Amino acid sequence: MSRISVAFVVSLIIGVSGGCARHFPQVALEQVDADFRQRCAGGPGALIYMDERYDDYWGGGYDPTSYLLVGEEGGDSITAAPTKRMTVRRSVIKILSKKGAVSASHFKVIHYRENAPPVEVHLWMGDGTPKMVNIQAVKTGPLVDWPCENGFPRETTFRIGPLLVGDVVEIIYPISGPDQLRWSFGSDQFCVSRSRVSFGHKDDEFRPDMDAKLVDASGGVKLASEPNAYPMVFELRKALMPISHERLPFVMLSPRCPNWKNLRGRIFRTALWMARAGKIAGHKKVNPFLVTPIKENQKARRIQATAEWMYDRVKVVPDPYQYWLRWMPTEPAHKTARKRFGSAGAWSALTFRILEEAGLKPRFALIHTNPLNPFGLDSPAASQMDTLAVVVDDETGKTHWLVPTLRYSAEDQPPSGLRGHKALLLERWWIDREQGAGRCSAEVELTFSCQTSTPEPVELELVSIGYGDKPKQEKSSAPQ
């Protein structure tokens, strides 16, 4: 991010923070369990007293959806009026120790614009006396290496201070992209006393087409609004110590899709474009033999050779946790081929490209593998899946599954460890129709990729892996 951009954002933040008299958020620590409070003070050193997500007219016209500042076309200015409603996160943090002061002095915001978003910060002493606060956007970097200007996630780190033991800090910033559809209750860094999410706004009409899926092993999250009411409100009513991202309770907003067959193949568009980008074979890339045209009755041997080469030569590395990138390729296939390592999604994209370039007809599949996120057959949504795999048939019609980090065995197809798991299988005709390589799809992953009428022909099939030679098709009992 340029120096001008940083100065512009910081001036906006200081203007918002310093020009308004902000009501002190009362943090009643006596209402928090004493033992829990003591463990927080001796551990992370900071307590998120309130963490909430809501829709509001805020941000001075910043638009996290269309990647423009309202009024920007007129000459690098932003409108003073709150002209657009957006999804906002507000956190109130109580500093309990010096360690907590250090940890809370930095926070990160994910955004899809080139410029960092506006951030509003307020600071008080423990008795409610306002304090001056310094805030600075210190670093902005991409979370993915996609060849496009907009439509991909970036992350900006902000530094605030000075924070002292006993201080209360309030942080407000917009939530961008598909993160607007998902809310996690709790934190991997701090203790959390209260957390609340509101899907919708009081000005909205009732949305009978919308639903929310709650995944909560803690038992502490409850529906706070009336059943079938809109907006939908969920609250955490059980204080949580820091826990890993993978174990955090969460709720996902999604459409009431009539059936799995109503989902659209476009959720795979970015993965397909990344797979088809650049030249993959050559010196210090993919072995040229793997992409040579296949001779008659050699499909099974080529599939095995590709799977073994990928497992031995291309290392799967974890990326910084971001829910919507858990299966998405983080870079074009030719970069993964050159580096010989990449995310699980990048591994699958390169595997797909090798097989397709050799003359095979591979398909993408999204598999549900996470036992912490129980599969809901009656909730048709691609967001339930977590692993991108490549599926391809040999000359006998046998289906082979090539999965990141899973060693391939020709005799164990489909892999025994996946049998019975659900998968969304993309039809090959859709792949043949889709053109383009190395471009970006701003949706990242569309949970709203559902239509009322079933596409003809069907683009995606929900299957159970391991039933006969072909995956078993599943039927949902969701209302038609």
Summarised one tens digit per residue, pLDDT across range 227-286 is: 878 889 999 999 999 998 888 999 988 878 889 998 888 889 889 989 998 999 988 899
Q: What is the per-residue pLDDT for 84?
A: 65
Question: Looking at this protein, which amino acid is placed at residue 89?
Answer: R
Nearest partner of 158 among 16, 53, 6, judged by Cα: 6
| Averaged pLDDT for residues 419-437 | 88
Question: Looking at this protein, which amino acid is placed at residue 42?
Answer: G
| Prediction pTM value | 0.86
Burial of 230 (0-12, 13-18, 19+ CB in 10 A): middle
Q: Which DSSP letter does residue 308 get?
A: H
Nearest partner of 53 among 184, 142, 168, 166, judged by Cα: 184
| Residue pLDDT, tens place only, 52-106 | 999 887 776 676 654 333 333 333 333 333 456 788 999 999 999 999 999 999 9
CATH topology of domain 260-473: C8orf32 fold (3.10.620)
Nearest partner of 390 among 353, 442, 357, judged by Cα: 353
| Averaged pLDDT for residues 218-224 | 92
* Whole-number Cα distances in Å, 112 to 79, 145, 220, 237, 348: 20, 13, 32, 32, 25
Residues of the chain with CATH 2.60.40: 3-255
SS3 state at 462: strand
Q: What is the per-residue pLDDT for 401?
A: 97
Q: What is the per-residue pLDDT for 350?
A: 97
Local confidence band at 422 (pLDDT 50, 70, 90 cut-offs): very high
Asked if residue 310 has pLDDT above 80, the reply is: yes
Please provide the CATH number assigned to the domain covering 3-255: 2.60.40
Residues of the chain with CATH 3.10.620.30: 260-473
